Structure 1
Amino acid sequence: MSAEARLAELGLELPNPPVPLANYVPWRIGGGLLFLSGVGPRRADGSSITGVLGAGMSVEEGYAAARLCGLNLLTNMRAALGSLDRVDTILKVLGMVRGTLDFGGHPEVINGCTDLFVEVFGDNGRPARSAVGMGSLPRGIAVEIEAVVLIKG
């Protein structure tokens, strides 16, 4: 099943592409790879999920924020490639989690994004991955995620 068909089957609607907030572009293509800039958990209304994991924000809430990041990354993949069906493999994901010094659930939070990618792309959506903690993220967002994608040749 194609990725676009799978997205529809899952009943997932992608948000509008986020507008860069600084001097960068949402993606670059080179050497058969799509490099996606980091995105936050931006909702369709333009608001974002903010907070600190381990300080009033649960792993489940972080997971939901990471899933929202994943939807925004899918939006940028589609905008860059014209269709999610041009995605061959999600090669690499870097997930950044705003957490307290003693928070250790970074992998479980970033699963929100990578679980989504597996739902849409099957095993080709399972990337090499890093899930790291940050003391702060832009505008107080809870999670930021970037990715590298292999484009079908």
Structure 2
Amino acid sequence: MTPEQRLQQLGLVLPTVTAPRGNFDAWVLDGSMLYLSGKGSPLRQDMAAVPKVGREISAEEARKYAHEAGLNLIATMKVALGELSRVRRVVKLLGMVNATPDFMGHTEVINGCSDLMVQVFGEAGRHARSAVGVGSLPRGFAVEIEAIVSVTE
């Protein structure tokens, strides 16, 4: 089963990839390695209140943000590669959580993205990962995730 078929089976629709807001690329393909810039969650609409995990939103709510960030990453992979079957392996994720200083559930939050990668890519979606807490994120995101992916040429 292809990653696109898995997405369809899961009832997931990839979001539209937007252009970066700055002097950088959304992705860089260098040989067999695809580097994806950090993606936040499209669920975040209201810029008035910055959601701090552990204060305004729970770890479970933030996990949904990580899932949405993962969908953004997969959508970017599709734009970069043309088809998701070119993904040989998701190599590494770096998950950043905009959390209160006493929050300890970073791993559980970023699992929202990690679980999605395995659901969509199977064993090729298993990856190395870091999950860290940060004091703030661009555009007031609760979660931002970047990825490194090995691809077929």
- Please, what TM-score do these two structures have when normalized by structure 2? 0.94
Residue 11 of structure 2 is matched in structure 1 by: 11
Q: What's the CA shift for 1:48?
A: 6.8
Residue 107 of structure 1 is matched in structure 2 by: 107
C-alpha distance in 2 between matches for 1:24 and 1:99: 26
C-alpha distance in 2 between matches for 1:31 and 1:79: 16
Structure 2 unmatched ranges of 5 or more = none
Q: What's the CA shift for 1:42?
A: 1.4
Superposed CA RMSD: 1.4
Residue 130 of structure 2 is matched in structure 1 by: 130
Q: What's the CA shift for 1:56?
A: 2.0
Q: What's the CA shift for 1:74?
A: 0.5
- Please, what TM-score do these two structures have when normalized by structure 1? 0.94
Paired letter, 1:102:
D
Structure 1 residues 45-124: aligned runs within 5 Å: 47=45, 50-124=50-124
Structure 1 unmatched ranges of 5 or more = none
Are the aligned partners of 1:41 and 1:48 in contact in 2 as well (CA < 8 Å)?
no
CA offset digits 1:38-79 (Å, max 9, x no partner) = 010014xx8379511111210110100000000000000000
C-alpha distance in 2 between matches for 1:62 and 1:96: 11
C-alpha distance in 2 between matches for 1:64 and 1:11: 15
C-alpha distance in 1 between matches for 2:38 and 2:74: 12
Residue 20 of structure 1 is matched in structure 2 by: 20
State the number of aligned residues. 151
Paired letter, 1:37:
S
SS in 2 for 1:60: helix
C-alpha distance in 2 between matches for 1:93 and 1:111: 11
